[in-house]
Structure 1
Amino acid sequence: MTEKKLVADALTAIISEHISEEDIISLLEKPKTAQHGDLAFPAFSLAKALRKSPQLIAQEIAADIAKDSFETVEAVGPYVNFFLNKRNVSTQTLHDILTQQEHFGDADIGGKRAVPIDMSSPNIAKPMSMGHLRSTVIGNSLSKILEKINYSPVKINYIGDWGTQFGKLIVAYKKWGSEEAVRNNPIKELLRLYVDFHEEAETDPALEDEGRAWFKKLEDGDAEAVSLWQWFREESLKEFQRVYDMLGVSFDSYNGESFYNDKMAAVVELLSQKGLLKADQGADIVDLEKYQLNPALIRKSDGATLYITRDLASAIYRKETYDFASALYVVGNEQSVHFKQLKAVLLEMGFDWANDIHHIPFGLITKDGKKLSTRKGKIVLLEEVLNEAISSAKEQIEEKNPSLADKETVAHQVGVGAVIFHDLKNDRLNNFDFTLEEVVRFEGETGPYVQYTHARSASILRKAGWQPDSSQRYSLGDADSWEVIKLLQNFPETVLRAAEKYEPSVIAKHAIQLAQSFNKYYAHVKVLADDPEKESRLALVYAVKTILKEDLRLLGLDAPDEM
């Protein structure tokens, strides 16, 4: 039982006629200092119903509350401060973790219902840049968090393999490219052609028209256009797979934009049947004024479709295929208007399930404070960053632990983990500047620091030769272990909060706090001292190791036993 539930149950027993348990839980606060207890209940909300001052209400509650689960309950001004019984809570928490192991914090909320997660989604013929990192690792972490509460995530890599840019690329290849150059270095050469196209188009606007014309040919099934497009796509997917293997990310579907090419006509027809399409300067739009949104452009004057047409087709297909509980789109913050339009059009079409679609926006990664741009060739390659991070991790491992077995594997786990963790510890809506030196550090609020703490706990247990015995009653009552116990006890609540907010940083922050709290404990307490509480202290170390490993797993990181 979480500490909030413990306190809420005790309060509900005496004030339930005036306030619900749910409201009590939402009002409970963590005091700023440990001297004011573990949790505090503010009595202001009861003043009107009881016609008494909050101070007097707090005194009456403190006097009436059942004290079994608490060391002390005291009124301080308008607050009731609760000091939990350390031994009772530690016994229960350690027992739960040692018996449930990595399943501690599991919950059956999802009932195995599907949750498609649209994530990563790089464009073919372009390398995966640091700009693709966020959607990939946020989506991957959300899939693990949702799976823990018994949803069935479906990770969809909605590859950008359709649209006007491919008409532009075909034009660039036919004008300045060669088959040999593309075969020798596919992505680098295709990127060069893409950048060249945009540079040339600045002085020759007619190129843009040529690009649009070739995309129209592709849509219409022109043999040359389709052949070139398929070749560009196959070469790109090979490159992407190498990066996904490095990140440890896999997908359930690679249905990209092109998959919906033959499904868009039905969507346009349905919009027409429902009287939603309006002609506007030769184009077809859906008016969204009642949603205070600009019109959704469904079909351009030349008959070409747009992103929203494909997204309408894909949303309908996913609902029909997966009958989802909710559908997530892990896409940058700058696309928020697009997703509002998508939901609005689906609602206009009579699809109430559009309310189950959620855009999961995120901020930008910048380099030296500047946005990364493919179009102008200002690109930081994700694979290069991951390789640099692995090298940096290996150097530090050589320095700290030169005799470590399997250094290559551990350096990979630590280097790649550092990049993923640095992304996920930030609230996803925040922008952040990426500096490799800051990311791959073994100290501070970093992935390697959390992994190192896990390895340290594993080392202590190896040294003690200790294995858990679930029939034993492990119990601790000291102030040093208490901060660690509270973080362990709150792990299930942390998982639920991360799932409700679609926010992996909630898990990352828990991992940092648990690692910091455990390291402080280890510095103050002789864990291996031979005394009556040695077994309980080792049970605490085991519980920390178990939950840190699960924290890291939910973020998509490995937890090495040695570093």
Structure 2
Amino acid sequence: MEKQILALQIAHILGEEYPRNWVLNVIEIPKQESHGDLAFPCFPLAKTLRKNPNLIAEEIAQQIKHPVFHKVKPMGGYVNVFLDQTFVANHMLQQIFQDPAAYGSHEFGKGKSIVLDMSAPNIAKPFSMGHLRSTVIGNALANLAKKCGYETVKINYIGDYGTQFGKLLAAYLKWGNEEQLKENPIQELTRVYVEFHKAAEVDPSLIEEGRSWFKKLEDNDEEAVTLWKWFKDVSLSEFEKIYDLLGIEFDLTRGEAYYNNKMEGTIGLLKEKGLLEESEGAQIIRLDEEGLPPCLIRKSNGTTIYATRDLTAAIDRQRTYNFEEVLYVVGQEQTLHFQQVKQVLKKAGFQWAENLKHISFGMMLQDGKKMSTRQGKTVLLEQALEEAIKQAAKNIEEKNPYLEDRHTVAQQVGVGAVIFHDLKHDRRNDVEFSLEEMLTFEGHTAPYLQYAHARTTSLLEKGNFNPEEAVTSIQSESAWPVIKTLRLFPEIIEKAFKEYDPSKMAKHLLELAKNFNRFYAHTKIIGSDESQELLTLIYAVKLQLKEGLSLLGIEAPDHM
């Protein structure tokens, strides 16, 4: 609120050349508390106004007036604003307690829908730590979108089609063991897949054999389809165990194969538009004008590829959901693919293609190297989650052996640790897999936040706090760092969504927990003269920690 008020006043002072949104984007939060709570740099105005930034700052500072501003001071080319702490605190608490569940919500997405293409593990392969990224980033973005008013459709677009499944069929028929497949399906399918690629290094003809089996699958060969369906069913059953642990549900689970009988319609449409060209027996669409290599639509042997299916899926989703945006939460190595898909759709005349957005992310590394199922080098997500829960249970046993429902809390803490370890990083960066770092109960971790939340619960219980008796006025100066952080929640939600960056929420929660812990360590709360005011503030911290963690897909236990 305060930033908007300041931006509106400065825009009015500067005139039409500097609209409110421009001013809003320029306003900063000073790093040093002595420089106030908000700052507007005047350096960008110097050339246009032909004045020294210091003079501009002085002229602007003299004209800014509002009850929310305690003091406005020009400092080194900046307009530095000190907020009225009591005014801000009281206004914020009134907003929170008017409707606690709605605090931080926005309505700019109302009446619009967003489709999220996320998770998308490949059948017959283990659900590795690498797939965790798409799953938890996509889930957090869906939660943030809902908080901004959007209807969301989370689609788990299973990888169940393509040449690699021809290789898998060939591999199973050569080296597979039916009993082992029934006993431990993913492990057995992974074994033969790895065996295939090792053997193909010695005998390259195996690659062609794999392509031949995929052609059989596309042609509905009975043996190929029966085996493929079996592989798919056992894989989805195994994946469901992971999603249950993570607490993630989808609106639709659909494989690439769903579009097998719909791709001819897409190819026909592209042909009608005059976009298809023959090239060495294959069908392509040239994207020279867009500065991209040609997009392969059909191979010379008649099989389709990933791009053909994604083009078909995009057209189908627009017809079904009339989306505002489609967010493809897929690794950055697929950047070229999504650029091609988007440009092909635009060339075909689909204006909505501009709203297809690739939400790329870095790799999950192990010892600094990319994980690879093909080479047998991967960390299984289920094992990581189970180990995290086991370690959390051990910590609870040591520190609080009489805790009720220890198993549930251990699961909340262990799973939360794994999710937060991913989401605290900027999604575009690579993440080093480190079970030890995930499970640290101090520092930048989910257990640290969950413990802060449990501490608020403990304080509220000791103080016999009743939310219906909340006091929405507070005078305590020591609470100001907590109040300043709490009031940023709506802004953080909007930024995290619009920039598709859940790490902004993760970092906000860490800052809130840090400020709360400092406040708690240096302030007498229970039995003080202002006990009810301070407990009201602590309840607001509890609400925001819980809601913020929930937006990231993490639970917040009341006791740890």
Normalization by structure 2: what TM-score?
0.98
The separation in 2 between residues aligned to 1:166 and 1:557, in whole angstroms, is: 35
The separation in 2 between residues aligned to 1:304 and 1:485, in whole angstroms, is: 60
CA spacing shift, 1:11–1:468, aligned 2, 3 Å: farther
Higher relative contact order (CA 8 A, sep 6+): 1
Contact 1:420–1:557, Cα closer than 8 Å, also in 2: yes
The separation in 2 between residues aligned to 1:24 and 1:195, in whole angstroms, is: 56
Show the counterpart of 1:98: 97
TM-superposition CA deviations, 1:231-250 (whole Å, max 9, x none): 11000000000011000011
Partner of 2:289, secondary structure, is helix
Range with greater deviation from structure 2 (14-23 or 363-372): 14-23
Residue type of the partner of 2:453?
H
Show the counterpart of 1:483: 481
Q: Quote the offset at 1:477 in angstroms.
A: 4.3
Normalization by structure 1: what TM-score?
0.97
Partner of 1:359, secondary structure, is strand
- Say if 2:379 is the partner of 1:355: no
Residue type of the partner of 2:528?
D
Show the counterpart of 1:522: 520
The separation in 2 between residues aligned to 1:524 and 1:544, in whole angstroms, is: 16
Show the counterpart of 1:557: 554
The runs of 5 or more residues in structure 1 that have no matched partner are: none
Contact 1:102–1:547, Cα closer than 8 Å, also in 2: no
Show the counterpart of 2:32: 33
Report the count of equivalent residues: 560
TM-superposition CA deviations, 1:343-396 (whole Å, max 9, x none): 011011111110000000000111111111000111211000000000111111
TM-superposition CA deviations, 1:60-89 (whole Å, max 9, x none): 222232153222111113111110000000
Contact 1:135–1:331, Cα closer than 8 Å, also in 2: yes
TM-superposition CA deviations, 1:135-178 (whole Å, max 9, x none): 00000111100011111111111101111111111111211223
Show the counterpart of 1:542: 539
Contact 2:162–2:214, Cα closer than 8 Å, also in 1: yes
Residue type of the partner of 1:497?
K
Contact 1:95–1:470, Cα closer than 8 Å, also in 2: no
TM-superposition CA deviations, 1:426-473 (whole Å, max 9, x none): 000000211111111111010000010011001100111102247844
Show the counterpart of 1:495: 493
The separation in 2 between residues aligned to 1:553 and 1:402, in whole angstroms, is: 26
Q: Quote the offset at 1:99 in angstroms.
A: 1.9
Contact 1:67–1:73, Cα closer than 8 Å, also in 2: no
Residue type of the partner of 1:484?
V
Range with greater deviation from structure 2 (445-454 or 50-59): 50-59
Percent identity between the two aligned chains: 53
The separation in 2 between residues aligned to 1:313 and 1:410, in whole angstroms, is: 44
Show the counterpart of 2:240: 241
Show the counterpart of 1:294: 293
Show the counterpart of 1:324: 323
The separation in 1 between residues aligned to 2:481 and 2:12, in whole angstroms, is: 27
Range with greater deviation from structure 2 (221-230 or 175-184): 175-184
- Say if 2:391 is the partner of 1:388: no
Partner of 2:158, secondary structure, is coil
Show the counterpart of 2:86: 87
Equivalent runs, 1:46-195 vs 2, <5 Å: 46-195=45-194
The separation in 1 between residues aligned to 2:15 and 2:518, in whole angstroms, is: 40
Contact 2:471–2:536, Cα closer than 8 Å, also in 1: no
Equivalent runs, 1:396-415 vs 2, <5 Å: 396-415=395-414
The separation in 1 between residues aligned to 2:76 and 2:509, in whole angstroms, is: 34
User: Once superposed, what is the RMSD of the aligned Cα atoms?
Assistant: 1.3
Contact 2:177–2:188, Cα closer than 8 Å, also in 1: no
- Say if 2:503 is the partner of 1:505: yes
Q: Quote the offset at 1:504 in angstroms.
A: 0.6
Partner of 2:56, secondary structure, is helix
TM-superposition CA deviations, 1:326-351 (whole Å, max 9, x none): 00100000000000000011011111
The separation in 1 between residues aligned to 2:16 and 2:232, in whole angstroms, is: 64
Show the counterpart of 1:463: 462
The separation in 2 between residues aligned to 1:182 and 1:435, in whole angstroms, is: 30
Contact 2:86–2:473, Cα closer than 8 Å, also in 1: no
Q: Quote the offset at 1:398 in angstroms.
A: 1.3
TM-superposition CA deviations, 1:70-114 (whole Å, max 9, x none): 221111131111100000000011111122212101111112322
Contact 1:88–1:475, Cα closer than 8 Å, also in 2: no
The separation in 1 between residues aligned to 2:455 and 2:476, in whole angstroms, is: 23
TM-superposition CA deviations, 1:25-47 (whole Å, max 9, x none): 11111222101111111223443
Range with greater deviation from structure 2 (247-256 or 551-560): 247-256
Contact 2:141–2:497, Cα closer than 8 Å, also in 1: yes
The runs of 5 or more residues in structure 2 that have no matched partner are: none
The separation in 2 between residues aligned to 1:282 and 1:71, in whole angstroms, is: 74
Equivalent runs, 1:216-295 vs 2, <5 Å: 216-295=215-294
Residue type of the partner of 1:436?
L
Q: Quote the offset at 1:541 in angstroms.
A: 0.1
Contact 1:169–1:193, Cα closer than 8 Å, also in 2: yes
